[in-house]
Amino acid sequence: MPVTTAAAAPSATVTLPQDFGALLREDPEIADVLVGELARQSETLQLTAAENFTSPAVLAALGSPLANKYAEGYPGARHHGGCEQADAAERIAIRRATALFGAEHANVQPHSGSSAVLAAYAALLRPGDTVLAMGLPYGGHLTHGSPANFSGRWFEFIGYGVDSESGLIDYDQVRALARTHRPKAIVSGSISYPRHPDHELFREICDEVGAYLIADSAHPMGLIAGGAAPNPVPYADVVCATTHKVLRGPRGGMILCGAELAERIDRAVFPFTQGGAQMHTVAAKAVAFGEAAAPAFAAYAHHVVNHARVLAAGLEAEGFDVTTGGTDTHLIVADPAPLGVDGPTARTRLAAAGIVLDTCALPYGDARGIRLGTAAVTTQGMDDKDMARLAVLMGSAVREEGGVAEEVREMAAQHPPYSG
């Protein structure tokens, strides 16, 4: 449905991925915001590592009548009547998730990745327990012990780090810390570590000290689905993830585990940490799992990784210092200091040129770098040549050279996220 909006650029027309006719008639103020956001996504390049573009089918499920349904509980055991179709949607999502990742059990109700981690901790730990996880300065998530988060307030977190030269996880340190502190659980995973964790080695360390292994796989879950990253399911007691990011589904979370922990995980999600499931989101998760099981998604996942490697090499050629010397995933972390600026300044200059990304902590020091990912631009159909050109444009933007914004808009126009 073509719509011209005041929020877009002058005379700009964008194609909506779903019919917003009713919203345009009944609430043009919010409709203008939504169309304006689509225009922003269509006219700039989205390199935020945690973002992607869902399919029109996922968006359709999110806007479906299941948004009206209250469905506390689980299929066949709800606290509300009229849940026949809600039960069917959730069973489909569970069936597809367990098949996609080779898990014995899946809980698809968590509202977010953080909700999934909270439920995993609630199932396995008690307040005051010791947990070993990647330290926040090295890429750990807020749920890995931040004092501002429930995790840092309720549990005793010990942070492991990375080697100061290679930037890779120091597994000798992980083992030594585990032996010293005897944690109840060890968490693998991060928000800005661009290499694959060694799931088998983490399992070995956990077994040595009698700890649970919780894999926080929010970022690589889509790569895992597409066979472009190793699967933690055979090694971890519990796997927590998001359903957006590379997986390209709706914003939400999920938990995978073995049959022996299934009841504990389910009770930790509902009724302990959440109320009613968002059934429209559960249905959208089912759609995304179905899409991720198709051969085309496997090709997509491998393209995401290849594009990240090309972009990382291009950024190094432009003068950025890329942590770990590259990437195995969709993630790139780079220090723009060799170009004479810090991460926040680089992000601001890139945003002015229409290139959207994040900053993140850099190992060993207080400096911040930039964090970016290739999931969204790959969904848009960009290729290796586009990634090489994008690296040049990023270098030019940080150096404040002219003409970058125009080239970025042209590149975005050639690869619209939604069309037809």
Q: Which residues are catalytic?
A: 70, 72, 216, 242, 245, 251
Phi/psi of residue 178, nearest 5 degrees: -65, -40
How many other C-beta atoms can be found within 10 angstroms of the C-beta atom of residue 410?
Answer: 9
Buried b vs exposed e over 147-173: b needs ≥16 C-beta within 10 Å? eebbbbebbebbbbbbeeeebebbbee
Total residue count of the chain as it appears in this document? 420
Among the residues of 108-191, which ranges form H helices?
113-124, 150-154, 171-181
Phi/psi of residue 363, nearest 5 degrees: -60, 145
Instruction: Please give the C-alpha separations between residue 220 and each of 114, 141, 145, 257, 302, in angstroms, as whole numbers.
Output: 15, 14, 21, 17, 12
Q: Residue 298 is inside which H or E element, if any?
A: helix 295-317
Instruction: Please check whether residue 412 is in contact with residue 9, taking contact to mean a CB–CB distance below 8 angstroms.
Output: no
Q: Which residues, in sequence order, are bridge partners of residue 156?
A: 130
d(CA 413, CA 420): 14
Instruction: Please give the C-alpha separations between residue 325 and each of 18, 140, 178, 322, in angstroms, as whole numbers.
Output: 41, 19, 28, 5
Instruction: Please give the C-alpha separations between residue 173 and each of 168, 169, 176, 179, 352, in angstroms, as whole numbers.
Output: 11, 9, 5, 10, 41
Q: Which residues, in sequence order, are bridge partners of residue 131?
A: 157, 185
Instruction: Please give the C-alpha separations between residue 53 and each of 50, 114, 245, in angstroms, as whole numbers.
Output: 11, 21, 9
d(CA 244, CA 62): 13
Q: β-strand 2-4 against 13-15: which pairing, if any?
A: antiparallel
Q: Residue 156 is inside which H or E element, if any?
A: strand 156-160
